[in-house]
Chains A and B, each alone.
Chain A
Amino acid sequence: MRSCTPLAKEQMQLGKLVVPISLVVSDTSVDPSWVQTALVHAGSTVVSVSLDFLCNFAEGARRVDIISNAASQHEDGTGEPAHAWYGADRVAVKRFRQHLLMAFESYLLRQANEQQPTTILCPGCSLDDDRLVGLVTWIKDTWATVRVVFATGGQGTTGDPDQTNVLGDILLATQNSSEVWLTDGMSLDEATGFLANWLKEAL
Chain B
Amino acid sequence: MSTKPRARRARHNTGMQDSAAPSRAESGEELARLQATALLYFEQCRSQTARLRTLEDALAQAELSLQQAKAGNELKQQIAQIQKSLATKDELISKLRSALVAKEGARFDLELKLRSLLERGTVAIEVRSNTKTANHGTEPANVSSPQEPAGRLSDGIAFATGSTLRESKCFDYRSMLTQLATSGNLSSPRYPGLAAPTKGFLFVLTYPRSGDLVLQKMLNDIPGYCIRGELGGALEPIAKAWGETVIAGQRFDKDDLEVASLNLGWSIADTFVTDVLVPPPNVKVAGFRSNTVHTDIESFWRQAAFLYSSFPNARLLFNMRDNERVARSGPWARQPRKEVLRKLRSMDAFFNEFSNAYPERCLCIRYDDYTSSQEARNRIFEFLVEADFLQRDCDPIARKNEGRG
- The residues of A with any CB-CB pair to B shorter than 8 Å are 49-50, 52-54, 56-57, 59-61, 63-64, 66-67, 70, 81-89, 92-93, 95-96, 99-100, 102-104, 106-107, 110-111, 113
Q: Closest residue to A85 on the B side, CB-wise? A: B229
Cβ of B124 to closest chain A Cβ, rounded Å:
21
User: Looking at the complex, which one of B231, B238, B274, B289 makes contact with A60 (CB distance below 8 Å)?
Assistant: B238
Q: Are B264 and A106 in contact (CB under 8 A)?
A: yes
User: Looking at the complex, which one of A49, A56, A86, A106 makes contact with B276 (CB distance below 8 Å)?
Assistant: A86
List chain B residues, Cβ under 8 A from A103: 264, 267-268, 271
Q: Are A87 and B279 in contact (CB under 8 A)?
A: yes
List chain B residues, Cβ under 8 A from A60: 234-241
Q: Are B256 and A92 in contact (CB under 8 A)?
A: no
Q: Are B260 and A111 in contact (CB under 8 A)?
A: yes
With A107-B245, A110-B263 given, is the CB distance from A63 to B237 under 8 Å? yes
Q: Quick one: which of B161-220 are within 8 Å of A by CB?
A: 213, 216
List chain B residues, Cβ under 8 A from A54: 241
List chain A residues, Cβ under 8 A from B271: 95-96, 99-100, 103
Q: 20 new A-B pairs (CB below 8 Å) besides A53-B244, A63-B233, A83-B213?
A: A49-B248, A50-B244, A52-B241, A53-B245, A59-B237, A66-B232, A83-B230, A84-B231, A86-B231, A86-B278, A92-B274, A92-B276, A93-B276, A95-B271, A95-B275, A99-B275, A103-B267, A106-B264, A107-B263, A110-B259
Q: What is the predominant secondary structure among interface residues of chain B facing chain A?
A: helix
In the A-B complex, list the 6 residue pairs whose CB atoms are closest, starting with the nearest.
A60-B238, A96-B275, A99-B271, A60-B237, A56-B241, A53-B244
Q: Are A110 and B260 in contact (CB under 8 A)?
A: yes
**Distance in angstroms between the alpha carbons of A100 and B235 in the assembled complex:** 11
**Distance in angstroms between the alpha carbons of A95 and B229 in the assembled complex:** 20
User: Looking at the complex, which one of B230, B232, B237, B261 makes contact with A57 (CB distance below 8 Å)?
Assistant: B237
**Distance in angstroms between the alpha carbons of A1 and B226 in the assembled complex:** 48
- The residues of B with any CB-CB pair to A shorter than 8 Å are 213, 216, 226, 228-241, 244-245, 248, 256-257, 259-261, 263-264, 267-268, 271-272, 274-279, 288-289
User: Looking at the complex, which one of B226, B233, B264, B277 makes contact with A107 (CB distance below 8 Å)?
Assistant: B264
With A60-B237, A86-B231 given, is the CB distance from A67 to B276 under 8 Å? yes
Q: Are B248 and A96 in contact (CB under 8 A)?
A: no
Q: Count chain B CB atoms within 10 A of each CB in A54, A60, A61, A67 and give the residue with the most.
A: A60
**Distance in angstroms between the alpha carbons of A54 and B271 in the assembled complex:** 19
List chain A residues, Cβ under 8 A from B257: 111
Cβ of B307 to closest chain A Cβ, rounded Å:
14
Cβ of B190 to closest chain A Cβ, rounded Å:
11
**Distance in angstroms between the alpha carbons of A113 and B255 in the assembled complex:** 12
List chain A residues, Cβ under 8 A from B236: 60, 63
**Distance in angstroms between the alpha carbons of A69 and B388 in the assembled complex:** 38
Number of A-B contacts (CB under 8 A): 119
A-B contact pairs, 5 of them (CB 8 A): A83-B213, A83-B229, A93-B275, A96-B276, A107-B263
**Distance in angstroms between the alpha carbons of A102 and B275 in the assembled complex:** 14
Q: Are A56 and B244 in contact (CB under 8 A)?
A: yes
Q: Closest residue to B251 on the A side, CB-wise? A: A50
Q: Closest residue to B268 on the A side, CB-wise? A: A103
List chain A residues, Cβ under 8 A from B277: 86-88
List chain A residues, Cβ under 8 A from B244: 49-50, 52-53, 56
With A57-B238, A66-B234 given, is the CB distance from A92 to B275 under 8 Å? yes
List chain B residues, Cβ under 8 A from A89: 278
Q: Are B256 and A53 in contact (CB under 8 A)?
A: no
Cβ of B276 to closest chain A Cβ, rounded Å:
5
**Distance in angstroms between the alpha carbons of A67 and B231 in the assembled complex:** 7
User: Looking at the complex, which one of A84, A92, A107 makes contact with B260 (CB distance below 8 Å)?
Assistant: A107
**Distance in angstroms between the alpha carbons of A127 and B244 in the assembled complex:** 20
Cβ of B118 to closest chain A Cβ, rounded Å:
16
**Distance in angstroms between the alpha carbons of A96 and B238 in the assembled complex:** 13
List chain A residues, Cβ under 8 A from B233: 63
Q: Are A67 and B263 in contact (CB under 8 A)?
A: no
Cβ of A52 to closest chain B Cβ, rounded Å:
5
User: Looking at the complex, which one of B216, B260, B263, B288 makes contact with A86 (CB distance below 8 Å)?
Assistant: B288
**Distance in angstroms between the alpha carbons of A93 and B259 in the assembled complex:** 27
List chain A residues, Cβ under 8 A from B267: 99, 102-103, 106
Cβ of B165 to closest chain A Cβ, rounded Å:
12
**Distance in angstroms between the alpha carbons of A52 and B213 in the assembled complex:** 33
**Distance in angstroms between the alpha carbons of A67 and B264 in the assembled complex:** 20
User: Looking at the complex, which one of A63, A87, A100, A113 makes contact with B256 (CB distance below 8 Å)?
Assistant: A113
List chain A residues, Cβ under 8 A from B288: 86
Q: Are B237 and A56 in contact (CB under 8 A)?
A: yes
Cβ of B300 to closest chain A Cβ, rounded Å:
15
**Distance in angstroms between the alpha carbons of A183 and B260 in the assembled complex:** 32
**Distance in angstroms between the alpha carbons of A110 and B254 in the assembled complex:** 12
**Distance in angstroms between the alpha carbons of A61 and B231 in the assembled complex:** 14
**Distance in angstroms between the alpha carbons of A26 and B267 in the assembled complex:** 29
List chain B residues, Cβ under 8 A from A63: 232-238
List chain A residues, Cβ under 8 A from B234: 60, 63-64, 66-67
**Distance in angstroms between the alpha carbons of A103 and B233 in the assembled complex:** 20
List chain B residues, Cβ under 8 A from A113: 256
Q: Closest residue to A71 on the B side, CB-wise? A: B276
Q: Are A84 and B230 in contact (CB under 8 A)?
A: yes
